[in-house]
Structure 1
Amino acid sequence: MAKKVIPLTNTQVKQAKAQDKEYILSDGDGLQLKIKTTGSKTWVFKYSKPFTKKRSNIGFGVYPEVSLAQAREKRKNARELLAQDIDPKTYKDEQQLKQQEIHSNTLQVVAENWFSIKQSSISPNYAKDIWRSMELHIFPSLGKYPVASLTAPVVIAVLKKVAKEGNLETVRRLAQRLNEVMTFAVNTGLIHANSLSGIRAAFEKPAVKHMATIKPEELPELMQTLNASNLQIVTRALIEWQLHTMTRSNESAKAEWSEIDLDKKLWIIPAERMKMKREHVIPLTKQMISILSVLSSFKRPYCPYLFPSNRDPKKHINTETVNKVLRRIGYHNRLVAHGFRALASTTLNEQEFNPDVIEAALAHVDKNTVRKAYNRAEYLKHRTELMTWWSEHIEECAKGSLSVTASVVNAKFG
């Protein structure tokens, strides 16, 4: 008959002294206190492994950091695991590994992994803006937080500092980016749920700021002002090209000769250069072709761009050139380059052109959406009609002699 073990008392544990040899005090049910010759006392739980029944043991910590009551609680938990055929030592190792993974997956580490994928689908400038905002506002306070430990109140407290400076648009963008990081963490199995999904509701919505533009009736004044300004030919051509084509600054300034198909009278902008990452086709009007004729005088074999930089002819003109010119000629806070698109949209809608065709001309919708109503030939026909009317309207507002092509001809350039 097995000898019954009398449970230990707190006094016994406390007064146990070191001896010449290491010895053990038993508390029963596998729990032992090992007293070493140095005087240190360690809790050990001895048990039989599930299935194999091999003898094994697991440490429960050092006394007095782990008290007798705490050691008994650990024994209880271990025996409950054994009742489920779970090895407590294996379970402990797995839990420690999970904790290590949790603490190694900090917000900054997970954000870096998310960003490595995100940046492949966005422009370099946008990628730079995203990462800079995280470095500036998020990582200093939250970068070392494990994503599993992030809570909405903690993050909201950090974003409130940004909101106090009046940067509500920045707060909106940061909230969006943090949610993308947390969704990435969910999708990669690091966390079970996104704890930050509702943080945007804690802040006011930023006021919508429309790009500064002019009224349709103010276009003649703009054309006259441009004509009276001392602008380089390439700069003036860029302004009118962007106005006629209704494109964004990046798309116009980086336009390449290889994208121009004069035979078909099309400008085909590849998907990688478009904001929505979809190829955009623009029918070329006679006014656009005239601008191209002017630009051909500046065409060089070593430069692929329609609008070469004045400082480095191998590169394209600065994408902010049009905005700088508009500020310089008196349109500060009245008109920006992107406002050309709003001006075109307003004018064309007032002329009752099909809204879907207008949106397609602005590259706001996929051309396939428009083709629900038009086949390819009809689609290009309607796009061409719209672009032709818009170019002729600009020319009319310029009163003929005020367009860049007329200015060049009058100057007998090239």
Structure 2
Amino acid sequence: MTTATPELPTLRVGMLGCGTVGSQVARIITQQHDDLAARTGAHVELVAIAVRDASKDRPGIDPALFTQDAAGLVARDDLDIIIELIGGVESTRELVATALSRGTSVVTANKALLAAHGAELTGIANQTGADLYYEAAVAGAIPILRPLRESLVGDEITMVMGIVNGTTNYILDQMTTTGADFDDALAQAQGLGYAEADPTADIEGHDAAAKAAILASLAFHTRVSGDQVFCEGISHLTAADIEAVTRLGFVLKLLAVAQLTPEDQVSVRVHPVILPNSHPLSSVHGAYNAIFVESREAGRLMFMGPGAGGAPTASAVMGDLVTVARNRKRGVAGHAPSGYTDRVVAPMGGTECLFYLRFDVDDKPGVLAQAASVFSRRGVSLQTVSQIAKLEGPAGHEQPLATLGIMTHETQEQVIQECVAELQAEPFLHGEVRLLRVEGMA
């Protein structure tokens, strides 16, 4: 333990929220005061915490710190830094904007806020010379935003692809390794605290989409908002989908993918992805997160670790707090992320990748040729075509069925969707066409 130096300046910190992460941060600030002083060159003093219920008992935290006046807290003249950990978007935007407009630096873990209003808040911070740091908003304790913002800023990033939601990774991992169906795997995730009682934001991909917007904005120096991200979740996936993918020697993950297109546009999407078992992301199990980065000069980089939870997220918040405190003591602000390229966000229809389709057809001569012709008419090249299984036809249907699996070469999303629509109208098809996108085959 380092002895505090009385002559050091004092930096006064206010905090919004004191839940799982906030309580961890508050305890670290108060219990590690001397260490923080040694790291920052200043006394970091937590002076107030805004909460909904100031009377609630929070062990280990001085009750005198609590206030229910969040608006009054961010408007104070004697604060240097605000730590925002309450979540939400519109009401929180007002609080953060107020703090930044007064020159108070802000550390936040709020990905939804940044995905919706990141450009506006960064602009305010730039005008007033305040810092806005948010490492904890994406992938918990994994240091990914600062490498994109600082370490790799001299390089040209071409792709960021990753597992950025631990809940969905746990569910798909359970379905793959144990054969569980989706509902059972989700129940297990909820039982372990990986999934909320209402898991919609996770399983429908909204949480990952907000993080994808932040990653794309930093990687490609272009403002990307959450509503510009194509989003498809995992709630429609079945044990049969997992079984088919596993049979191919692949694994199924929910990925955030942000990449530059040949037209120098930015493609940003969240959806289930088939990965070959040789890809580094395929071996990420449980509730872990991992992010794979490709750049012109550095090549391929991988960042992996716990992506959620009180302690990992608090670690990222504290890292930002130390950086901001150092800047504050020196009277400077860190380099703000830039949006100088102003690239167009590409529509999903123009995205190109490989696709895997699985569907049931009448098991009789000529059907395979009819199915193949649907793709041929649109110029889609087929990499492999296989009959996966023979099935009994539905009640009253004398003809047996066969399950076909088709892997295409690279083609456009809009073209493959046209193929799916035509296949669904064919009399030889039974049930729905199952469509999955493929990455990592290059």
TM-score, normalisation: structure 1: 0.26
Higher relative contact order (CA 8 A, sep 6+): 2
* Larger radius of gyration between Structure 1 and Structure 2: 1
Q: Which has the higher helix share?
A: 1
Q: Which has the higher strand share?
A: 2
